[in-house]
Amino acid sequence: MTEENENKHDKLARRVEDVAMTTSLVSAAVGVGASVVAPTGLTAVGIALGITSAPFIVTAAPVVAVAATVTGVVSGSVYFYARWKNRK
Protein backbone atom coordinates (compact mmCIF):
# COMPACT_ATOMS: atom_id res chain seq x y z
CA MET A 1 0.00 0.00 0.00
CA THR A 2 1.31 3.44 -0.86
CA GLU A 3 1.89 6.28 1.52
CA GLU A 4 -0.80 8.30 -0.28
CA ASN A 5 -3.50 5.72 0.50
CA GLU A 6 -2.45 5.60 4.14
CA ASN A 7 -2.77 9.34 4.34
CA LYS A 8 -6.26 9.19 2.81
CA HIS A 9 -7.42 6.72 5.46
CA ASP A 10 -5.94 8.80 8.26
CA LYS A 11 -7.42 12.03 6.89
CA LEU A 12 -10.85 10.42 6.59
CA ALA A 13 -10.62 9.11 10.15
CA ARG A 14 -9.68 12.56 11.47
CA ARG A 15 -12.51 14.29 9.59
CA VAL A 16 -15.13 11.84 10.77
CA GLU A 17 -13.78 12.13 14.31
CA ASP A 18 -14.15 15.93 14.12
CA VAL A 19 -17.78 15.57 13.03
CA ALA A 20 -18.45 13.07 15.83
CA MET A 21 -16.94 15.33 18.46
CA THR A 22 -18.92 18.30 17.19
CA THR A 23 -22.22 16.43 17.29
CA SER A 24 -21.37 15.15 20.77
CA LEU A 25 -20.81 18.68 22.01
CA VAL A 26 -24.03 19.87 20.38
CA SER A 27 -25.89 16.93 21.91
CA ALA A 28 -24.55 17.78 25.35
CA ALA A 29 -25.60 21.42 24.98
CA VAL A 30 -29.08 20.44 23.77
CA GLY A 31 -29.40 17.96 26.63
CA VAL A 32 -28.53 20.61 29.20
CA GLY A 33 -30.91 23.09 27.55
CA ALA A 34 -33.70 20.52 27.46
CA SER A 35 -33.26 19.69 31.12
CA VAL A 36 -33.38 23.37 32.03
CA VAL A 37 -36.60 24.09 30.14
CA ALA A 38 -38.27 20.73 30.74
CA PRO A 39 -41.87 21.25 31.81
CA THR A 40 -42.75 20.53 35.41
CA GLY A 41 -45.87 20.76 37.54
CA LEU A 42 -49.05 21.88 35.85
CA THR A 43 -47.26 22.54 32.59
CA ALA A 44 -46.22 18.87 32.44
CA VAL A 45 -49.81 17.83 33.15
CA GLY A 46 -51.01 20.10 30.33
CA ILE A 47 -48.53 18.52 27.94
CA ALA A 48 -49.56 15.02 29.02
CA LEU A 49 -53.22 15.89 28.40
CA GLY A 50 -52.41 17.42 25.02
CA ILE A 51 -53.52 20.91 26.00
CA THR A 52 -50.11 22.48 25.39
CA SER A 53 -46.99 21.34 23.59
CA ALA A 54 -43.50 20.71 24.87
CA PRO A 55 -40.73 23.21 24.06
CA PHE A 56 -38.98 22.44 20.79
CA ILE A 57 -35.63 21.78 22.45
CA VAL A 58 -37.22 19.07 24.60
CA THR A 59 -38.68 17.45 21.49
CA ALA A 60 -35.43 17.74 19.52
CA ALA A 61 -33.09 16.43 22.23
CA PRO A 62 -33.60 12.71 21.47
CA VAL A 63 -33.05 13.30 17.75
CA VAL A 64 -29.79 15.13 18.41
CA ALA A 65 -28.69 12.39 20.82
CA VAL A 66 -29.30 9.73 18.16
CA ALA A 67 -27.32 11.76 15.63
CA ALA A 68 -24.40 11.99 18.07
CA THR A 69 -24.55 8.25 18.71
CA VAL A 70 -24.60 7.40 15.01
CA THR A 71 -21.68 9.68 14.20
CA GLY A 72 -19.76 8.21 17.14
CA VAL A 73 -20.30 4.69 15.80
CA VAL A 74 -19.27 5.75 12.29
CA SER A 75 -16.22 7.53 13.68
CA GLY A 76 -15.13 4.49 15.64
CA SER A 77 -15.64 2.24 12.63
CA VAL A 78 -13.64 4.48 10.31
CA TYR A 79 -10.89 4.84 12.92
CA PHE A 80 -10.46 1.09 13.25
CA TYR A 81 -10.72 0.63 9.48
CA ALA A 82 -7.91 3.15 8.99
CA ARG A 83 -5.77 1.37 11.58
CA TRP A 84 -6.46 -1.95 9.87
CA LYS A 85 -5.52 -0.56 6.44
CA ASN A 86 -2.33 0.98 7.85
CA ARG A 87 -1.20 -2.39 9.20
CA LYS A 88 -1.31 -3.98 5.76
Query: Tell me, what's the pLDDT at 86?
Result: 81
Single pTM value for the model: 0.77
Q: Domain residue spans in the chain? A: 3-87
Contact between 24 and 72 under an 8 Å Cβ cutoff? The reply is: yes
| For the chain, percent of residues with pLDDT exceeding 90 | 57
Query: Tell me, what's the pLDDT at 9?
Result: 81
| For the chain, percent of residues with pLDDT exceeding 70 | 92
**What residues have CB less than 8 Å from 65, skipping those under 6 apart?**
27, 30, 31
Tell me the torsion sign for CA atoms 54, 58, 62, 63.
Answer: positive
Q: Check residue 50 and report its DSSP letter.
A: T
